[in-house]
Structure 1
Amino acid sequence: MSKRILIVLSEYGYWGEELVGPLETFEKAGYQVTFATPTGKRAQALPPSMDPHYIDPPLGRSVTSPETAVKVRALDSSSRLDSPLDLSAWLPERPYRSDSNFLRTFEAYNSRLERVAEEVADQYDALLIVGGSGPIVDLANNQRVHDLILAFHRLDLPIAAECYGVAALAFARDQDARTSIIRGKRVTGHCIEYDYKDGTGFLGTDFVIGPPPYPLEYILRDATGPDGAYIGNFGKETSVIVDYPFITGRSTPDSYLTGQKVVEVLEQGLRRWGFAA
């Protein structure tokens, strides 16, 4: 029976190769894929990720090959992303404690999460959160995305994330313990040397800012705690870390490798890779 992967995408722009790389790898392995977005709107690739002439400011070079640009444009103009799973319809909204009927509402919320966990267990084998600037807006601090991650985590299923999508792992926390699920784990993600100084933009808005509103490296260093580690691998061409159940990729050049490691986790039982034990 083929494996089934749930891929979560931002509605404010994903980086093309960070979807195409894992997607091609999963399809080559014979996996089935379901796309999801926060409110069921169609996800779209960020324009720079389809432009081989766009120069990434921190790296001073293009990070999109002509071949990749063609693949991203083909996927972005296809109908494959037209009807994603709507996370806002699937997962419940966590009630405010000031709700006049909080106890009953909270009970209903927890009951629905139990059913979501059953559905995840029945329908999926792994989760992937795709990166780009969009996740900063609607994935990183999205309570429903956090609850989805927690459902996979409690089922001990693989959870992969790329680039700024890794922030959602840092913020996914049990509401009682309030510590990140990546505490004590090794992860990678966008290191501060690769952050933009200016020009961070989001699809569907006129909002263009300087650097990202948070330095992902610092968040991951804090979230992993004293017994874990952020591993940026600055100066190395690729950075993918496997510390089960997490598979994290630093940025665009790590897209295919991230997908490959997810396959190795599912097919070969890989549990650690990319760091010294």
Structure 2
Amino acid sequence: MEDPQITSTGVATSTPKVLIVMADYGHDPTETAVPYTAFKNAGYDVKFATETGRPPRCDKRMLEGFTQKLLGAKKEVVSLYKKMAVSDEMRHPLSWSAPGFAFAPFDLVLFPGGHDKAVRQLIDSPVVHALVLDYFPQTRKPSRKVVAAVCHGVMALSESKDAAGRSVLRDCVTTALPAKFEQAAYWSTRAVLGDYYKTYGHGSDDVETAIKKVLADPSQFKASLNPGPFTVEDEHYNYISARYPGDAEVFAEEIIKLFESFNRIV
């Protein structure tokens, strides 16, 4: 964060630098636009990054047509997305594959989710894995650096493994898209959308199963089947995770609260 300034009330304030890491296409608009808007409203310095610096586009199925009306972003979120899409930071993102690029200059690195197969560009990227391996240890408390991920975005972390095959999430508690949510969406839409809700195709592991495989103990995966907002914060790292678009607002609020906790009375 920028050097803190002390206000007349003795409170240290600073401006967090946020990076939203994305594939070129396919992320969920709610999981992207809701946190983005919350961070901008809080006065944060927000940047985006894609592989080559091309402007990202969120999943159009969640933004238009019958899929939007039945399963996609709410009307108000579509409005937030349209504003975000024309912002200078989204039209001119950084490149996470550029030589010398690192997450280190940022105070928060956020990974939104999305079902479209195109998000595998991010989840499967060895470049992203190396960036995460470098950054995630820097979030160990009492650090002021933060990682946050929602839904499939958690897989960008779970798939980031060291030379011994250990994921950065191995010793963390986390949530992500619950298997029952994923299966319900898949089977209820399969006749119309095929395997859209299976990012790695029919027969592949659910997100929950894939993540549990890299944890030291499967009990570290925390899930709630209540549709109300649900987030998880790790005890040892400044790492916050959420399950799906319904968590996005509280997910952003919890991240902002964490940064506020860094700015205690001096």
One-letter amino acid of the counterpart of residue 165, structure 1: G
Whole-Å separation in 1 of the counterparts to 2:89 and 2:262: 30
Whole-Å separation in 1 of the counterparts to 2:88 and 2:107: 24
How many angstroms does 1:52 deviate by? 8.1
In structure 2, what is the equivalent of residue 6 of structure 1? 19
In structure 2, what is the equivalent of residue 186 of structure 1? 173
The 3-state SS of whatever aligns with 1:128 is: strand
Whole-Å separation in 2 of the counterparts to 1:28 and 1:52: 29
The 3-state SS of whatever aligns with 1:241 is: strand
Whole-Å separation in 1 of the counterparts to 2:135 and 2:200: 33
Whole-Å separation in 2 of the counterparts to 1:182 and 1:209: 21
Whether the 8 Å CA contact 2:227–2:246 is kept in 1: the answer is no
How many angstroms does 1:213 deviate by? 4.2
In structure 1, what is the equivalent of residue 232 of structure 2? 241
How many angstroms does 1:194 deviate by? 2.1
* Cα distance change on mapping 1:27 and 1:229 into 2, 3 Å: same
One-letter amino acid of the counterpart of residue 8, structure 1: V
Provide the TM-score with structure 2 as the length reference: 0.77
Aligned residue runs from structure 1 range 152-163, under 5 A? 152-156=135-139, 157-163=145-151
Which of 156, 167, 170 is 2:155 aligned to?
167
Which of 137, 140, 145 is 2:123 aligned to?
140
Whether the 8 Å CA contact 1:130–1:162 is kept in 2: the answer is yes
In structure 1, what is the equivalent of residue 93 of structure 2? 84
Aligned residue runs from structure 1 range 6-45, under 5 A? 6-45=19-58
In structure 2, what is the equivalent of residue 253 of structure 1? 246
Gaps of 5+ in 2: 1-13, 140-144
How many angstroms does 1:12 deviate by? 2.5
One-letter amino acid of the counterpart of residue 150, structure 2: E
Whole-Å separation in 2 of the counterparts to 1:86 and 1:212: 33
One-letter amino acid of the counterpart of residue 60, structure 2: P
Whole-Å separation in 2 of the counterparts to 1:35 and 1:212: 33
1:168-214 CA-to-partner distances (Å, cap 9, x unmatched) read: 11111222x32111112211111122222433559xxxxx9854844
Whether the 8 Å CA contact 1:129–1:166 is kept in 2: the answer is yes
* Cα distance change on mapping 1:138 and 1:235 into 2, 3 Å: same
The 3-state SS of whatever aligns with 1:137 is: helix
The 3-state SS of whatever aligns with 1:236 is: coil
How many angstroms does 1:215 deviate by? 1.2
How many angstroms does 1:263 deviate by? 1.4
Whole-Å separation in 1 of the counterparts to 2:81 and 2:52: 23
Tell me the percent identity.
24
1:226-272 CA-to-partner distances (Å, cap 9, x unmatched) read: 275112212332221111321111111111221111112222159xx
* Cα distance change on mapping 1:230 and 1:12 into 2, 3 Å: same
In structure 2, what is the equivalent of residue 274 of structure 1? none
RMSD: 2.7
Whole-Å separation in 2 of the counterparts to 1:211 and 1:231: 25
Whether the 8 Å CA contact 1:36–1:84 is kept in 2: the answer is yes
One-letter amino acid of the counterpart of residue 55, structure 2: R
In structure 1, what is the equivalent of residue 222 of structure 2? 231
The 3-state SS of whatever aligns with 1:153 is: helix
Provide the TM-score with structure 1 as the length reference: 0.75
Whether the 8 Å CA contact 1:52–1:64 is kept in 2: the answer is no
In structure 2, what is the equivalent of residue 264 of structure 1? 257
Whole-Å separation in 1 of the counterparts to 2:177 and 2:112: 13
The 3-state SS of whatever aligns with 1:68 is: helix
Whether the 8 Å CA contact 1:16–1:49 is kept in 2: the answer is yes
* Cα distance change on mapping 1:213 and 1:255 into 2, 3 Å: same
The 3-state SS of whatever aligns with 1:223 is: coil
